[in-house]
Each structure stands twice: as C-alpha cells, then as structure tokens.
Amino acid sequence: MTPPAVSNDVFRQMAADHIDLTNSHAHKSSIGEAGGALLQAATRYTAFTCAAQSADKTQFLAARKLNVDQLTAQFRELLLSHYDDFGDNYETYMK
C-alpha cells in the first residue's frame, strides 16, 4: 500500500490538523492525557502501516526489530528537532 505523494504544504497541514484535534481534547481533559492519546493513536496506526506494507504475517513479525528501531530513531530525531525549536522560540510559542 503506497500512499499518494503529497506536497510539503499538504503534509504540514495534515500534521497541524492532528495537533488542532489534540488541543481540542486537551481543553476537555489535560494536556498529558491528550498527548498520551495522540501517542497511543500514532503508535497504533504505525503498527498498522507496518502490517499493511508486509506481504504476510511472517514478514511483518520478522521486520519487528528493524521497524521499531527505525521508527524509534525517527521519533527521537523529530522530538529533538522540535524540542530545540521550542527552546529557541519559547517566549513566542508559550504566549
């Protein structure tokens, strides 16, 4: 299952839509619960995408370590980048 390519603008808007939804949940619960729900959804969907891109269950299970290692590294890289961005722009973002 290869997704259609989208422009950078469309990709950024898709991410912004998820953030907006999570922010709306945070108003009804807490920022920690909303963030936890987003993380739960992201990891569940990511496991689904790994399964959907596998030829069969055997291939899916065999790729577990590789997929988890690659996705964990990607998450870490993105988190560090966003953390640095918030550090550089803290006063602006946290108004």
Looking at residue 6, its pLDDT comes to 92
C-alpha separations of 55 from 13, 44, 68, 83 in Å:
31, 19, 18, 36
pLDDT recorded at residue 3? 60
d(CA 20, CA 23): 5
Q: Do the beta carbons of residue 50 and residue 63 sit within 8 Å? A: yes
Question: What pLDDT is attached to residue 23?
Answer: 96
Q: What is the pLDDT of residue 2?
A: 59
| Token pair belonging to 91 | 């006063």
pLDDT < 70 regions, the chain: 1-3
The reported pLDDT for the residue numbered 56 is 98
What is the model's pTM?
0.85
